Structures are given as structure tokens and as C-alpha cells.
Structure 1
Amino acid sequence: VQAAFERVLEPSLNWNLIALNLVKRIEVSGRDLEVDVNLVTRELELIDQFRIDVDALVTERLRPDSFKLRIRAVDVTSEGVSAVKQIILVGSGKGGVGKSSIAMNLAGGLSKRGYRVGLMDADVHGPSAPIMLGVNERPEALPDEYLMPVMAHGMKTMSIGYIIDERQAIDWRGVLASGTLLQFIQRTFWGELDYLVIDLPPGTGDIQLTLAKRLECA
């Protein structure tokens, strides 16, 4: 059943429902099937077409005696990093020592081993993900001021550099910086991940300590 739903896309995002952690329940009883899914879209036409497409797919591939599909609008504020199994922080006492290279290669290596990986470039002083990953696009906005991560090299990625102009300076310090970064990480719709690698700013101050304390990290 799960393999069949890996072919189903969220209609407004055009992303796999399983990867987004939007298939919430699958129950099989003999030849009867019930599935609960969440959708980000609130457009009734898209939801109606989604139901028709899923009914056709299930009938063709699984052929149950009965099929019940329950759909509800997802509250993206309840998602964030909730479906991430492991969070890895990569930091250093000073800048220019290869921290970002380690974070990128660690994330890329895990992805090549078949894990579902996210990469968060949280270095507000010098975001490097756009250049190192060769990405030049802004993340898609979701309801409730959430953001869709940008796909790059098989990974879900997010960076301060995707949001601001490369010539723009950021004057974030102390509690403001740590609070804003934490909110930025938690307001990215990561979906279901095995690992989320976070490239921290250099140093050992408020930002690093707050993120390490507030996030369940490896």
C-alpha cells in the first residue's frame, strides 16, 4: 500500500505524500482499505481531483473490495522538524576552517547511502549553500508563513542565502539571532527525514547554545 502511495503527489506542491509525511494512517482489514492523508492545499477543486486520482490509482493497483479515503487540511505549524529522526549540528569555534564543507559533504554522503536528508545552512554571517550547491531559487511559500525546502542533489535544503540578497548584510545578534534562526528552521516544511544536517554560524555563543538546547540533536 505504501509503495502505491509513493506515486501520489500533494496537488499544490507536486511532492510525494510519503516524503512529506502526509500519509497519517493506513489500515488494511482483509480486502478492505482505509487511508488518512493530510493536504496542504485548501482549494476544493484540487482536493476533489486528488480524491478522484487516488481512487483510480488504488482501484487499478490494489483492487480492494472497499476503499475509504479521509482527507483533512494539514496544519503546517504542527510539522516543522517533528518527522525528522536525527538532527546533526555542525559547528566550529571560528570561521574559515571548513565547517560548511564538512556539513555539505556529510549531508551528501548520507544522501548517497540512501537516507532521506535535509541540509539547513544556518550560517547567517556567510551563507554558502547557494554557491556550494549551485542553487539560485527562492523557496516556495506555504500557508501560515511556512517555507518549502529547495531540492538540490537529492536533498531538501534551506539557507538564509535563498531568502536575502547576496549583497545584503544581516545584523542579527544574541537572542534575536538565535530566536530568528530557530523559528526559521522550525518553519521549514521538512517532512519525513532520516537526518537533518544544520551548518551553524562560527563561534560558541547564543545561537549555537540555543539551537543545541532547543533541538534534539545528535
Structure 2
Amino acid sequence: MSRDRLLAVLDADVDPLIGQGWVAAGTVAAASVDGSRARVVIELGFPAAGIHEQIGQRLRAVIRDKAGLDAEVEIRSRITSHAVQKNLQPMPQIRNIVAVASGKGGVGKSTVAVNLALALQAEGARVGILDADIYGPSQPRMLGSSDRPTSPDGKHMHPIVAHGLQAMSIGFLIDEAQPMIWRGPMVTQALNQLLGETRWQDLDYLIVDLPPGTGDIQLTLSQRIPVSGAVIVTTPQDIALLDARKGLQMFRRVEVPVLGVVENMAWHTCSNCGHHEAIFGAGGGERLASEYGIEMLGQLPLDLRIREQADGGCPTVAADPEGELAQRYRGIARLAAARLAYGVYEGSFPDIEMTDD
């Protein structure tokens, strides 16, 4: 068995996350054959620690079945910077900025954002979160931190570290009850300072929790800040979907790739009888994704635990990392990061199925 034959077998195996063969995707860092044994090193462009063993087992089976070889398979990840808007360059110490947006408030965007950040971290990435909602910052409460940033030189701030995330928010700098009675230019200046004057340390991803709508903050983000991709959060109801479309169209106009849609509050499970009920309707996120040709990254339930954990300063992925809800967030995080790393391959992403198990 030759190395070329081994590579051909690897390239014929289309991975469901990247949508193409391992060789075509540029993921084969090493491949060798020694008698009846093979050694393969796969280097993914996104964090996927939670499924490294699963991928390795599948590849060993493929190599055994198609090439007749026993294989040693190593899976690792190397995250690089991806394309941003024209005339902008990735920021030092931040490989990728990912915006989490919604067209309207009340859809759980901030909760999704912080759990997405924690999920990427759980998958092996270095992650930060920037709370871009100047008028209504919520990340300090969700992260359970009332610390104040330090500034050793009087010009730059160290991020707050909470649950392993590097974080920055106007909420760390003001009293929680203090209203921000600012006009648009002051708000955009504050966002620029929070991003540019924070000493972020070697981040693979900076998650930006945007305020709802398509106003000053979103305009500043799209024109001045190098964004690699965006995730749209919506609920299934028609009103939320109408506004989500506006946010989606905004990112398309400024040439920021939309990585996909997260449908939050997709169903509620009765705590007494276990009945699933689609309180806000059903299928809205899938219709939106289908209409615009983007990925449906996943669905999340309306669950009391998610609210209690976020309000208590320990979001779901940190509070119950092995639980079913945390695994949903991690699946969404892997899909979004793979979409950023390898682009759009229609039909390549597996559906996240709901079961009663």
C-alpha cells in the first residue's frame, strides 16, 4: 500500500463538518505507510476537542476498510485568521472576531453569545467576549464578575478573566444601576475604546455581543472593526424573524459572512409531564436559513436552567459542562467555527436533531 493510495482514501472520505475530503480541505498534516500500518495527522482549522476521538475512530475504520491498514490517527487543531471586510486587517492578538447579533431584543442573544464563547473555549480555543451593548450591558452579570479592569500604563486595560474567558464591557467600568445617557457618537467611541484599548492576549476568537437592531454600534462594527463572521440569533416567531432578516441583510451588505442562524427558545419541555411545546412557533429558523441559503447551526430550548445559570453568573456551559444543554452549545460552536474555516458547502452540515431521550 502506497502513501498515494492512503491519501486517495482520505480524500474520498467527505467529512460532514467541512464538506469535502481531508486532503482537499488541506487538513492532512502528515501521512505515512510502513508495511501494514499507517500514521495520519489531521490538523483541523477549528476547535473540536469534544469530537477528536470520534473523528479518529471513524478515520481508523475508513482506513482499515478501504486500505486494509491499521492506522494511528492523531487529531489536532490550528486556528488561523480568516478574511475580513475590504480595507481592514485582523487586529493584533485577535485572530477572528465573530459578531453575535439579533434584529430585536428579548431573543436571548447575550445568553447565546456567552455560552458560544464558553463552548469554543471548551472545544480548545482561546476566547474572549466583548459586550458591545453600551446602553444595556449584561455580560458582567452573566459572567458573575464585579471586578474593575486594571490599567498599568493609564492607556490600556487588562480584560477581566471570568470562567477562563477574557472579557470587557462598559458594565465593568460603571455602576450597574447607572444609565448611559449618551448620543450615538459617544457610544461608538466607547465601543472603539473597549475594543482597541483592551490588552487582549492571543485570542483565537473574540465574540462580540451586539445590541439588538442595526444602529450606530452595528455600523461602526461593520465599517471599522475587522469581523470574520456573524451569527444571527432568533426565536421561531414571525416578529423576531422579520427583524432577524434585517440584521442578516446588513452583514451581507458590508460583506461579512453570516455563519448561520441559531434558533433560541425553539421549544419548552413541561417540567411535570415532559411534553414538548413550541410556544413561539416552529420551523422559523429553518425557514430563514433556507430563504437566505445559510446554515441552520442549531436549536436551543426555552429552559429554566439556562436563565437561572446566566442570572447566577455561571452560564450553562460552565455550570454543567457535560450536560445535554452544554453539548448543544458546543455542537453549535463547532458548526459555526467550521463554517468560518471552510466556507459554505451546501448540505454538508448535519442537522442537530431533537429527541426525547
TM-score (norm 1): 0.61
Would the aligned equivalents of 2:169 and 2:194 in 1 still touch at CA under 8 Å?
A: no
What is the one-letter code of the residue matched to 2:100?
Answer: V
* Bigger radius of gyration: 2
Say yes or no: does 1:127 pair with 2:137.
Answer: yes
Number of corresponding residues: 139
Aligned partner of 1:18 in structure 2 is none
| 2:113 aligns with one of 100, 103, 124 | 103
Which residue of 199, 206, 212 corresponds with 1:189?
199
Q: Percent identity?
A: 50
Query: Is 2:105 the counterpart of 1:91?
Result: no
How far residue 175 of structure 1 moved from its aligned partner, in angstroms, is 2.2
User: Which of residues 206, 210, 218 in structure 1 aligns to 2:216?
Assistant: 206
Partner in structure 1 of residue 177 of structure 2: 167
The aligned residue for residue 43 of structure 1 is none
Q: What's the CA shift for 1:179?
A: 2.2
* Cα gap change, 1:142 to 1:105, in 2 (>3 Å): same
Which amino acid in 1 is paired with 2:104?
Answer: K
Q: In the alignment, which residue of structure 2 is the partner of 1:117?
A: 127
Q: Is the CA contact 2:132–2:210 (under 8 Å) kept in the aligned structure 1? A: yes
- Unaligned ranges ≥5, structure 2: 1-89, 230-357
Contact in 1 for aligned 2:145/2:162 (Cα 8 Å)? yes
Closer/same/farther in 2, CA of residues 133 and 90 from structure 1, 3 Å limit: same
Runs of 4+ in structure 1 deviating by more than 2 angstroms, as ranges, are none
Give, in whole Å, the separation in 1 of the partners of 2:212 and 2:182: 14
d(CA) in 2 for partners of 1:183 and 1:157?
14
* Residue segments in structure 1 that go unaligned for 5+ positions in a row: 1-79
CA distance in 1, matches of 2:91, 2:174: 23
> Structure 2: how far apart are the matches of 1:180 and 1:131?
20
Cα pair 1:81 1:191 within 8 Å, conserved: no
Q: What is the aligned counterpart of 1:151 among 133, 151, 161?
A: 161
Letter of the 2:160 counterpart: V
Aligned: 1:216 with 2:226 = yes
The CA RMSD measured in Å over matched residues stands at 1.5
Instruction: Considering Cα pairs closer than 8 Å and 6+ residues apart, tell me whether 1 or 2 has the greater RCO.
Output: 1
Structure 1 counterpart SS, 2:172 = helix
How far residue 144 of structure 1 moved from its aligned partner, in angstroms, is 4.2
